[in-house]
Amino acid sequence: MAGHIDCYMDLLSLYSFLAFEYLLRRRDVLATHGVSIDFHPFFLGGIMKNAGNKPPWTVPAKKDYAHAFEDKRAKQYFGVPDLMNPPVFPILTLLPLRALCYIKATFPQSTSEQAWLAFFRAYWIPPHANIDDPDTVRDVLRDTKLFSDAEVDAICAAAQEKQWKDVLLENTTKVVEQGAFGAPWMWVRDASGKEEPFFGSDRFHFVWQYLGLPWKDMELLPREAKL
């Protein structure tokens, strides 16, 4: 068995954060099946505009439902109990996304993923850093202890350069052509080389089925069973 998952994310997307955590925790098991994962920054605002999609927080009923029920359920299911809605939302995430494009191209995959995690946690977990601010981006990178001061300077400079603006644009354009309308967006290749898209953080059972992996569906237990 073999395959590959390209996962496209924006730091603004709560469900990108949850999908990222979910996939990282299952990387070792996926590797035993020959399935690899790669994470890519893209700009969610561009995706939504191109698809004519409306952010859920702009639809009052969806916003109220998420705040009252869905967010709490997701925190429990995905095991991220400290997650809370940021006081400033939405924000423009272009700067940290461009920084992540540079980090991905320059450093090992594990370093790139730890940088993703640092930015996600900085924004979504109290005290909620304002990651669209250049000084805050610098602080988040420095606090990871992953980079030297010179490397932090280089990353912050790259985030302002056309080359990395273009990389983010190319990533976004690529998934637009794939039909993306939201985040996270996954492009999955199976062992035969066939590829299909998958959307969201709650459809991994469809991904496993597509890849031909052994998996167990959610099962309702009898009353006497212990949780």
Q: Say if residue 27's pLDDT is above 70.
A: yes
Reported as a pLDDT band with limits 50, 70 and 90, residue 11 is: very high
How high does pLDDT run on average in the chain? 94
Closest CA to 40 of 21, 55, 20, 59: 20
Looking at the domain assignment, is residue 56 inside a domain?
Answer: yes
Looking at the domain assignment, is residue 55 inside a domain?
Answer: yes
Residue-level pLDDT at 139: 98
Higher pLDDT, 184 or 58: 184
Residue-level pLDDT at 68: 87
Looking at the domain assignment, is residue 216 inside a domain?
Answer: no
Looking at the domain assignment, is residue 224 inside a domain?
Answer: no
112 is catalytic: no
Residue-level pLDDT at 1: 64
Query: Helices 94-106 and 149-158 sit at what angle, rounded to 10 degrees?
Result: 120
Looking at the domain assignment, is residue 227 inside a domain?
Answer: no
Closest CA to 119 of 1, 9, 6, 35: 9
Full DSSP string of the chain: --EEEEEEE-TT-HHHHHHHHHHHHTHHHHHHTTEEEEEEE--HHHHHHHHT---GGGSHHHHHHIIIIIHHHHHHHHT-TT----SS-S---HHHHHHHHHHHHHS-HHHHHHHHHHHHHHHHSTT---TTSHHHHHHHHHHTT-S-HHHHHHHHHHTTSHHHHHHHHHHHHHHHHHT--SSSEEEEE-TTS-EEEEESSS-HHHHHHHHT-------PPPTT---
Cis peptide bond N-terminal to 134, omega within 30: no
Looking at the domain assignment, is residue 34 inside a domain?
Answer: yes
Q: Which domain holds residue 152?
A: 3-211
Residue-level pLDDT at 167: 98
Give the CATH number of the domain where residue 69 resides.
3.40.30.10
- What is the number of domains present in the chain? 1
Give the least confident one: 31-45, 183-197, 210-224: 210-224
* Residue in 13, 16, 112, 201 annotated catalytic: 13
Residue pair 172/97 in contact by the 8 Å Cβ criterion: no
Reported as a pLDDT band with limits 50, 70 and 90, residue 76 is: confident
Residue-level pLDDT at 217: 79
pLDDT (tens digit per residue) in 140-163: 999 999 999 999 999 999 999 999
Reported as a pLDDT band with limits 50, 70 and 90, residue 13 is: very high
Looking at the domain assignment, is residue 126 inside a domain?
Answer: yes
- Report pTM: 0.93
Looking at the domain assignment, is residue 219 inside a domain?
Answer: no
Give the tokens for residue 14. Answer: 């709560």
Q: Say if residue 216's pLDDT is above 90.
A: no
Q: Say if residue 190's pLDDT is above 90.
A: yes
